[in-house]
A and B are shown apart, each in its own frame.
Chain A
Amino acid sequence: MLELLKAPILTFQEFVLLSGRAVRGIFRKPYYWDDVFLQMDLIGVGSLPVVILTGFFSGAVMALQMSRALQKYGATSQVGMIVAITLVREMGPVLTALMVAGRNSSGMASELGSMKVTEQIDAMRALGTDPIMKLVKPRLLATAFVLPLLTVLADFVGLVGGYLVACKMLHLTTSSEYWSSAWQAIEYDDIAQGLLKPFVFAIVLSLVGCHYGMRTKGGTQGVGRATTQAVVVASVWVVVLTFIIGRVFVTM
């Protein structure tokens, strides 16, 4: 029984160590800004199509599914409000984070994992570069910067999707009613939550991806395994954290 627990605990311990070093390293030189920008491009702009599609359709689906319930209560004018709140608070951050996890946590894990199994990480260390600084920190900074932006874009596109469904397809409400109820429903709290969550998710996504990458063992098979594990663990953490953060905000 203890044997079963040993492995995850060890993994977690290493993860914490890695994260600690990465976070401490944020405020220390050297900075590899080129790498940061390249990663921002890769993670941010690269994920843009996926995120926009996901956001658009989740907003549309929200409006679609809520339409029946709202019609029952005669509250179809509130569809904008409902889409806005669910998107900004929950679905925007979570779905965006999950998409980026699938795309980029796995990418980080496989990239770093390949480097590990071809001894490039060791070479880097031998040649005087701290891989945490050169590899992990740029990815961490890039993701933390880019994920909130992606979330904002996803939220917006989701609202548009909901608008198209509610006003153009189902004719539940007028467009001005939709948009005014949408932005009226959002409070500062929601925006705070909607931006804090992506930020936290970003940290988790990048660190998990890098961690599994750097810990890869066992050749190409190991790389594949590391990639899968990275995505799974990152996604699970996203879902758990969204609950925890939401809880904090709700009790506040």
Chain B
Amino acid sequence: MAASNKVGWAQLRVGLMSLAALMILAFLIFLLTGADNPFETKSYLYTYMSDSAALSEGSAVRLNGILIGKVKTVELSGDKSNARAIRMKLQLEERYLALVPNDSVIAFSAENVLGAKFLNIKRGISPTPIQGGGELRARDEKDFLEIMQSAMPLLESLQSILGRIDKVVAQVESGQGSIGKLLYDPSIYTRVDSMLGDVQKVTRALSEGKGTAGRLLYDESLYDDLHRTLSRLDDLAAGLQRGEGTAGKLLKDPALYDDLRKTSVELRTMIAELNAGKGTAGKLLKDDTLHKRLLATLDNLNGTVDKINAGQGTIGQLMVNPALYENLTATAAEVQAMMKDFRANPKKFLTIQLKLF
């Protein structure tokens, strides 16, 4: 029957499809049964920790970051000491054992903040590699919690500091202390305020062209004066340039320069002579006797000063006698009064006269 032919083809196609799918499935399961080559021999290592940190079986075991095996079992070791409460059995391929020195240390690690935890073996320096069935030392990893705990005393001291700052702030707030007063005392403010008010008035007067300064700012005639003066200066400078007048001659006349040169030559010879100890100045420089005489003179001076201090002589009197000082003070007071007067009545005093030459 034709049907059987059809069935035959159907069976073939179905068979092929099933085969493909089953192969994929088998491959996947093969991969799953451990990332390992079933043909390679396995070795086991043990490590003891105080806490398994919820690490699951099958988690990766890495050597300095490279994947070399997985966690086979995690169980309670039954050991009394807390540091060895958890026993983990690690499965590695035999060939990796040779790369792990027996003083290597194993600890928890994570790929990143969100990453899965794994066990990382930090390679030791011992020349002997660890044997199968051996034990790896576990590093006491400070878990986040422990870090928190060690930070407690720091936090406590912070707390007390903050308390003290708090008290200071409270004081300031209540208006005590200079800062407090600055912040809270209204009298200073009113004083500053009135001062500012005065300043404002002066400024206004200035801007209105009142007072000398005001006139300085706003009076045009002064400007014209200045302008004229400047042009005169200009002419003067031009005259100087042309060599007019004494200063001009000074600038321009070469004869003076030649004289100066001659003079400097003479000076040089003179200095040479001085050095050689010729002439009076030279003698002054080189002669010892003068030095002695100077010392004697200083002694005399000292004696004179002492006398002055003791109030002897006119100068002495000046030094010691308070009467002059009192006079001076009185004068100062009068000056102050005059200042006040000035302030009240500036026009009386200020007459600026600019006259140059």
**A–B contact (CB under 8 angstroms):** yes
Q: Which residues of A contact B (CB under 8 A)?
A: 34, 37-38, 40-42, 44-45, 48, 73-75, 145-146, 148-150, 152-153, 156, 183-184, 186-188, 191
B13 close to A153 (CB less than 8 A) = no
Chain B, residue nearest A150 (CB):
B21
Q: Which residue of B lies closest to A42 (CB)?
A: B10
A37 touches B10 (CB 8 A): yes
Evaluate contact between A45 and B28: CB separation under 8 angstroms. no
Q: Is the CB of B32 within 8 A of A188?
A: yes
Residue in contact with A156 in the complex, picked from B9, B13, B24, B35, CB distance below 8 Å: B24
| Interface check B25, CB cutoff 8 A | yes
Chain A contacts for B35, CB-based, 8 A: 184
Closest-CB distance, A175 to chain B (whole angstroms) = 16
Cβ of B3 under 8 Å from chain A: yes
- Of chain B, the residue at the smallest CB distance from A46 is B13
Secondary structure call for the B interface:
helix
Chain B, 11-55, contact with A by CB distance < 8 Å: what is the 0/1 string? 101100110111011001101100100000000000000000000
By the criterion CB–CB under 8 Å, are A73 and B24 in contact?
A: no
Chain A: minimal CB distance from B56 (Å): 10
Distance in Å from the Cβ of A124 to the closest Cβ of chain B?
17
Known: A41-B11, A152-B25. 8 other contacts (CB 8 A): A34-B4, A34-B7, A146-B14, A149-B17, A150-B21, A152-B22, A156-B24, A184-B35
- Residues in B with CB closer than 8 Å to A148 are 21
Interface of A is mostly: helix
Report Cα–Cα, A153/B14, bound state, in Å.
13
B344 interface residue per 8 A CB criterion: no
Give A74 to B115 CA distance when docked, in angstroms: 11
- For chain B, which range describes its interface: under 10, 10 to 19, 20 to 34, or 35 or more residues? 20 to 34
Counting from the closest, the 5 A-B pairs by CB-CB distance are A41-B10, A149-B21, A40-B14, A152-B21, A45-B13
Question: Would you call A183 and B32 a contact (CB within 8 A)?
Answer: yes
Give the residue name and chain of the B residue nearest to A190 (CB).
B32
Which residues of B lie under 8 Å from residue A188 when comparing CB positions?
32
Residues of chain A contacted by B32 (CB below 8 angstroms): 183, 186-188, 191
Specify the chain B residue showing the minimal Cβ separation from A142.
B14
Q: Does B112 contact A (CB under 8 A)?
A: yes
The reply to whether A40 and B10 form a contact with Cβ atoms under 8 Å apart is: yes
Q: Which residues of A contact B11 (CB under 8 A)?
A: 37, 41
Contact A38 B22 (CB under 8 A): no
Residues of A within 8 A of B114 (CB): 73, 75
The answer to the question of B6 belonging to the interface, with a C-beta cut-off of 8 Å to chain A, is: yes
If A75-B114, A149-B18, A150-B21 touch, whether A41 touches B4 (CB-CB below 8 Å) is no
Q: In the complex, which residue of chain B has the Cβ closest to the Cβ of A154?
A: B21
**A153 and B24 within 8 A (CB):** yes
Q: Is B28 touching A37 in the complex (CB atoms < 8 A)?
A: no
Say yes or no: B21 contacts A153, CB within 8 Å: yes
Provide the residues of chain B in CB contact with A45, threshold 8 Å.
Answer: 10, 13-14, 17
